[in-house]
Amino acid sequence: MANRLHLVFGGELIDPSTTKFKDVENIDIVGIFPNYQAAYDAWKAAAQRTVDDAHTRYFIAHLHRLREEGVEASITDALDI
């Protein structure tokens, strides 16, 4: 079974209604995880640590879904990974 990597990251946003970071130099990289459940658990722990700060948000990025810009389909689509 192929790994479906997930990146968990977060930081302070300019406005809580957007996803624009206030300072991209200080983004908290929680880690890269081999499956969604592990990423979700890490995301939840990070989000709970900052629950009192409305401007801080954490996200899960599905690295296996990244595509090259300008390319209609990526090699990962062809390999179904």
**CATH code, domain carrying 36:** 3.30.70.2400
Rounded Cα distance, 6 and 24, in Å? 19
Strand partners of residue 30:
none
- Within-domain flag for 29: yes
- Within-domain flag for 1: no
Tens-digit pLDDT string for the chain (81 aa): 467 899 999 999 999 898 999 999 999 999 999 999 999 999 999 999 999 888 999 999 998 777 655 556 555 555 544
- Within-domain flag for 53: yes
- Within-domain flag for 23: yes
Identify the domain containing residue 58 by its residue range: 6-79
- Within-domain flag for 17: yes
- Within-domain flag for 21: yes
Q: Is 56 left (phi over 0), alpha (psi -120 to 50) or beta?
A: beta
- Within-domain flag for 30: yes
- Within-domain flag for 10: yes
